[in-house]
Structure 1
Amino acid sequence: MTLNQGSAVKSMDFHPVQQILLLVGINTGEIMVWDLSSRERLAVRNFKVWELQACSMPLQASLANDYTASINRVIWSPDGTLFGVVYSKNIVHIYSYHGGNDVQNHLEIDAHSGSVNDLAFSYPNKQLSIVTCGEDRLIKVWDAVTGNKQYTFEGHEAPVYSVCPHRKENIQASPCIRFNKEGMFMAVSTNENGIKILANTDGIRLLRTVENRSFDTSRVGSVAVAKAPTMGTFGAANAPVGSSIVDRAPMASIVAMNGDNRSLVDIKPRIADESVDKSRIWKLTEINEPSQCRSLRLPDNMTATKVSKMIYTNSGLAILTLSANAVHRLWKWQRNERNVSGKATTSVAPQLWQPSSGILMMNDVSDTNPEDAVPCFALSKNDSYVMSASGGKISLFNMMTFKTMTTFMPPPPAATFLAFHPQDNNIIAIGMEDSSIQIYNVRVDEVKTKLKGHQKRITGLAFSNVLNVLVSSGADSQLCVWSTDGWEKQTNKYLQVPSGRTPNPLADTRVQFHQDQIHLLAVHETQIAIYEAPKLECLKQWVPREASGPITHATYSCDSQSIYVSFEDGSVGILTAATLRLRCRINPTSYLPANPSSRAYPLVVAAHPSEPNQFAVGLTDGGVYIVEPLEAEGKWGTSPPHENGAGPSTTSGAANSDQPQR
């Protein structure tokens, strides 16, 4: 399709969550939002600066750096923690951004012998990279962490003005080009003040689904509203996990360009081997032997104490745990020839890291027996600080020095769950033993408000940027939704306990938002459930077979396509998030040592922040293991085919343990 803008396109970007929305800026100062499914312009705004003299200027000051050259391009990294600036010279500046006016110099790259004409970020499975192109006819790829050059592409007959894999006669000589987050759509500006939209088969299927308005509310990540569908990866069952745009179907124009206005329904997307796939007999993948996966126990010289909490750092370079004895452990991977990215991997053992001072990062325990306390922690976005508690005061630690920056809020009541506000690291939501939630401002050392709605201690908190809500969960098996604007309670629901299951009356209920920030994962020892916020409509429920024992923990993979679930029998199940179908079971014999006297099992499971098929488990004996599929496999099993015309079932038990419930 082509979208006519009426003037020259200067910049554009796909919405990172609602992936059929395209934001466009043109040279007359207008900003437009387009819906690709209806080809309708939803909004037009004329850019205007009000009372410029009253505006705060820290960002401008930070970027100035004594440069007088004009800016050619600014662009965010996919995770929003970095942004790149291209000046009209040959310098590229990369800045780190951590909210508010916290802008810091990160890298300065002397990129090309001539002017830098364009800049893009690449977010492949391995690491974040920077792509530049310039007048010297070269495209270069740089490591976004170190600034080291990784690749150079040569051979262009003219200066490169855009990193553009697709050119036709009506494409501009220096076009704007953008992929959406999942690589389903590509937008390219044209000579006729328009934008050409290209799509692969997944994109075509998405547009056809939206256009036909055939909504399936039982599908997690499906389109929820007509004008602004919010979704995760579409077609995840057909596309390889972690595959890039070049791994998937080739690009194809959705609608012919020269006045051809055929509807999308007339165009049959090519879905390779679909009939063959459906005819195959699907079988659950069972991992039973060490030779069937890759695993690594992290080195440890401390006293064995059960792992209560665990998380990867946001960079993926380290793993942090909190044990039942109130001591934190931090493992870091080093960048070397065997591990070029420096990220967590089973291929290289990390170092159990300690600062030169030798101090431990240990929580205050006051008069509480640490074994009886409810431990909790939260990591800041930039991995610099951890907020933590083990029944005593809440402590703020520096992750580099392990020093305690401050302590606050001595019990009673004790903190039982911590979550940083996504827009302001100074605001913390603190779940308490007395069932309240306190919204606390660290900077002014003040509780701003106290939320009351649960009957038992708080066991989970999750913020949604898209909905501007906080969802809480408690040992009362209740979910509550709170507005972050005024902190009023919007709704509440109790978990639907499966028939025949008698849950522990104090069992934890944990919550986590899907990548789309609308669908919500609720984890209880009896079930995995998916809700749609803010109304908390239960879309799907999965009940494991009783032989596995209670669920101990669960989490989304980094791309929200999978859910890792740990069990008391030591096994880990991998569910397809879109359907809540079990596709792979990793039995303890494949990653735990064969020691009959040890009945260690995972209490917590954590997902790598950028490797969708890597996870870690923390055990009752204090051990921490990283587990990955074999390189030849690349992923954990295959998703079962969808039942034709069958609605979600409400069965459970060993024979039907991979069936979702409604």
Structure 2
Amino acid sequence: MASHNEDAGNVIPQLNEEPNDESKMWRLTKIRDSLQCQSLKLPENLGVTKISSLIYTSSGNCILALASNAIHLLWKWQGNERNSRGKATASVSPQLCQPSSGILMTNDVHEPNHVEAVSCFALSKNDGYVISTSGGRMSLFNLVALKRLTTFMPPPPAATYIVFLPQDNNIIAIGMDDSTIQIYHVRLGEVKSTLKGHSKRITGLAFSRMLNVLVSSGADSQLCVWSTVGWEMQRAKFLQLRGQSISQSDTRVQFHQDQTHFLVVHEAQIAVYETAKLECLKQWVPRESDAPISHATYSCDSQLIYASFLDATVCIFTAGNLHMQCCIYPSAYLSPGISNLNIHPVVVAAHPEDPNQFALGMSDGGVHVFEPLESEGKWGVPPPVENGFAKGGPASPAIGASGSD
């Protein structure tokens, strides 16, 4: 992916944006060697396949993964002399947690086309419960006891995306493969509303507590905004795919911490949208010679975007202007033999407290944690300092940013 550079792609300019000035930009840092960053492959002996979903617990000391063969894995970092805070880190290996019963947390897979089934999960705010599915019935797991409590909602249709309502851990929004969205009350065991607006399966869901809306994305490349009061559709728009036909690629959505802007990730673009008018403010498009985007996510402070590609490259963007400031090549974290087997990241997860730490879930079942070198502290090289201030800073401020880095 040598053609990746800070000028790649197209940008829809934002109002009042300063013109790009290379002297004010972060210089692109290229990481090709394992000595240029801290990375750790998490221990695993369960023979899992592709990692379909990946998340840090909100406490920041565990990583939860769901593999495509329906097995869940939970890694926990313990506090010790090398890791006094007991938080996830690339410098200390965690423990793979296994239930004392020996019965792994495994989803129901009684579904004809399990190989093609979508695996997804959602984690409750208190880290206590996981709702998960791998094409069959949905499962509710106790993450403390590492055991399944119940199953519900047998297919068809099958669930393809799950997210908790921020205000109520008993209510979830479930995207389905029949293009509907089910608002489901877990404790009562009933569907409260069915939302219809997409024409293909749902691939992403995100709530804004501040705006009281749900944003959905589908394999139809459409974005929809729904009111959580009455569940009426407020507006809808198709992605701006420049010069391309509508692709059935998964489209993901994630709210910025300001709760008014959201990130849109498609294999052919990364974009930032404003919710009220459903307007695209920024867009980055790979060059034709670049590998497609596999996934992307905001850092915990929404100042960075971590994006993975199908050639196993990871690029780090400033969220405010989609300027690429760091690129991690597969040679930095994959052994030479593995890097030739078309192994790539499927999903990216960001640490909930450390904006410079992220993890990759790989197509071979591996999970890698990344941090910059301790001597550097951040990804990339900042603009030169002039009179005590960074010369100009980024070309535009991070959307909704408050305070300083």
> What is the TM-score when the length of structure 2 is the normalising length?
0.88
Partner of 1:587: 329
- Distance in 2 between the 1:440 and 1:521 partners? 25
The amino acid across from 1:438 in the alignment is: Q
Partner of 1:615: 358
The amino acid across from 1:550 in the alignment is: P
Post-superposition offset of 1:566 = 0.1
Cα–Cα, structure 1 residues 281 and 354, in superposed 2: closer, same or farther, change >3 Å? closer
- Distance in 2 between the 1:529 and 1:302 partners? 37
Partner of 1:598: 341
Matched, 1:351 2:88: no
Partner of 2:314: 572
Which consecutive residues of structure 1, in runs of 5 or more, have no partner in the other structure?
A: 1-215, 220-276, 647-662
- Distance in 1 between the 2:64 and 2:372 partners? 22
The answer to whether the Cα contact below 8 Å between 2:24 and 2:394 also exists between their aligned partners in 1 is no
Matches within 5 A, 1:418-429: 418-429=162-173
- Distance in 1 between the 2:71 and 2:395 partners? 52
The answer to whether the Cα contact below 8 Å between 1:581 and 1:639 also exists between their aligned partners in 2 is no
The amino acid across from 1:399 in the alignment is: L
Partner of 1:448: 192
Among candidates 294, 301, 305, match of residue 552 of structure 1: 294
Partner of 2:27: 283
- Distance in 2 between the 1:589 and 1:360 partners? 33
Partner of 2:403: none
Partner of 2:207: 463
The amino acid across from 2:329 in the alignment is: N
Matched, 1:327 2:80: no
Post-superposition offset of 1:600 = 1.0
- Distance in 2 between the 1:644 and 1:558 partners? 19
Partner of 2:387: none
The amino acid across from 1:366 in the alignment is: H
Post-superposition offset of 1:282 = 5.5
Q: Deviations over 1:33-84 (max 9, x none)?
A: xxxxxxxxxxxxxxxxxxxxxxxxxxxxxxxxxxxxxxxxxxxxxxxxxxxx
Among candidates 432, 436, 442, match of residue 176 of structure 2: 432
Post-superposition offset of 1:594 = 1.6
**Sequence identity (%):** 63
Which consecutive residues of structure 2, in runs of 5 or more, have no partner in the other structure?
A: 1-13, 384-390, 397-405
The amino acid across from 2:173 in the alignment is: A
Matches within 5 A, 1:187-198: none
- Distance in 1 between the 2:26 and 2:139 partners? 50
- Distance in 2 between the 1:289 and 1:467 partners? 44
SS in 2 for 1:546: coil
The answer to whether the Cα contact below 8 Å between 2:58 and 2:127 also exists between their aligned partners in 1 is yes
- Distance in 2 between the 1:645 and 1:317 partners? 35
Matched, 1:478 2:222: yes
Moved more, 634-643 or 357-366: 634-643
SS in 1 for 2:85: coil
- Distance in 2 between the 1:367 and 1:581 partners? 43
Post-superposition offset of 1:342 = 0.6
The answer to whether the Cα contact below 8 Å between 1:548 and 1:571 also exists between their aligned partners in 2 is no
Matches within 5 A, 1:140-539: 217=15, 279=23, 283-499=27-243, 501=244, 505-539=247-281
The amino acid across from 1:478 in the alignment is: Q
- Distance in 2 between the 1:486 and 1:638 partners? 48
Using CA pairs under 8 Å that are at least 6 residues apart, name the structure with larger relative contact order, 1 or 2.
Answer: 2
Post-superposition offset of 1:597 = 4.5
Partner of 2:402: none
- Distance in 1 between the 2:228 and 2:59 partners? 27
Among candidates 347, 371, 380, match of residue 628 of structure 1: 371
Cα–Cα, structure 1 residues 490 and 336, in superposed 2: closer, same or farther, change >3 Å? same
Asked which structure has the greater CA Rg, the reply is 1
Q: Deviations over 1:283-330 (max 9, x none)?
A: 311001111000000001111411111001111111011001011111
